[in-house]
Amino acid sequence: MHLATAADILSAAMEAAPDGLLILDSQAQLVAFNLAAERLFGRRREELLNRNVSELLGEKFATITALLGRDPDGVASETKRYLTISPPSGLSVTVEMTFSATEVAGKRYHVALAREASVMPTGPDTWLETEERLGNFAANMPGIVFQRVLRPDGTLYYPFFSAGVEEVLGFQPEEISVARDGSLDAIHWADRDRYLENVNRSAATLGVCLEEFRAIGRDGTVKWLSGTAQPQTMPNGDVLWDGVLIDVTDRKRAELWLEMIMNHAADGIVTISEDGLIESVNAAVGAVFAYDTDELIGQNVSVLMPEQDQGEYNDYLKRYLTTGEGTLIGTGPRELKGMRKDGSAFPLEMALSEVLTEGRRIFIGVIRDITQRKETENALAATQQRLQNIADNVPGLVFQRMLTVDGELVFLYISNGVREVLGVESDALLKNGTLFLDAMAPDDRDLFLESLKQSAATLEPMEDDIKVIGMQGDERWLRGWSRPHRLPNGDVVWEGVALDVTDRKRAEGRLTFLAYYDPLTGLGNRSLFVERFERARQFARNMGTWVAVLSLGLDRFSIINATIGHTMGDRVLVAVARRLQQSLDAGSIVCRAGGDRFLVLLTGLSNHADLFESVEVLQGAFAQPLELDGQQFDMTVSIGGAIHPNDGDNAETLIMHADAALHRAKAGGGRSLPDVHRGNGRSGRPDADHAEPLAAGSGQAGIRRLLPTPGRCSNGRDHRLRSPGPLGEPGGWLDLPG
How high is the pLDDT of residue 576? 94
**Residues of the chain above pLDDT 90, percent:** 29
Give the residue with greater pLDDT, 149 vs 85.
Answer: 149
pLDDT recorded at residue 90: 66
Q: Please tell me the distance from the alpha carbon of residue 540 to that of residue 536, in angstroms, as a whole number.
A: 6
Q: Is the pLDDT of residue 719 over 60?
A: no
Does the structure show a pLDDT above 80 at 82?
no
The band of 681, judged by pLDDT with boundaries at 50, 70 and 90, is very low
pLDDT one-digit tens code per residue, 16-36: 888 899 999 989 999 999 999
Q: What is the pLDDT of residue 150?
A: 92
- What is residue 76's predicted lDDT score, i.e. its pLDDT? 52
pTM: 0.40
643 has which bridge partners? 548
Question: Is the pLDDT reported for residue 653 higher than 90?
Answer: yes
Task: Tell me: pLDDT of 679 over 50.
Answer: no
What pLDDT does residue 391 have?
74
pLDDT of res. 5: 60
Q: Is the pLDDT of residue 410 over 60?
A: yes
CB 268 within 8 A of CB 288: yes
The residues, any chain, with a CB within 8 Å of residue 417's CB and separated by 6 or more, are 391, 392, 394, 395, 396, 397, 398, 500
Q: In the prediction, which pLDDT does 130 show?
A: 55
List alpha helices for 362-487, DSSP H: 371-393, 418-422, 426-431, 434-438, 442-458
| Rounded mean pLDDT, 685-692 | 36
Q: pLDDT tens digit string along 248-274?
A: 988 888 877 777 777 777 788 888 888
- Give yes or no for residue 646 having a pLDDT over 50: yes
Q: What is the pLDDT of residue 321?
A: 64
Distance CA 551, CA 633 (A): 21
CB atoms within 10 A of CB 323: 8
- Residue 559 burial (CB < 10 Å; 0-12/13-18/19+)? exposed
The pLDDT mean for the chain works out to 80
Q: For position 703, what pLDDT does the model report?
A: 32
Identify the three-state secondary structure at position 690. Answer: coil
pLDDT at position 682 is 29
Tens-place pLDDT, residues 573-601: 999 999 999 988 888 899 999 899 999 99
pLDDT confidence band for 389 (50 / 70 / 90): confident
Q: Which of 123-127, 505-509, 578-582 has the highest mean pLDDT?
A: 578-582
When pLDDT is cut at 50, 70 and 90, the band that residue 87 belongs to is: confident
Q: How confident is the model at residue 721 (pLDDT cuts 50, 70, 90)?
A: very low
* CA distances to 143, 208, 252, 468, 652 from 227, in Å: 10, 10, 13, 84, 118
pLDDT in tens, 92-119: 677 888 888 888 888 888 888 888 865 4
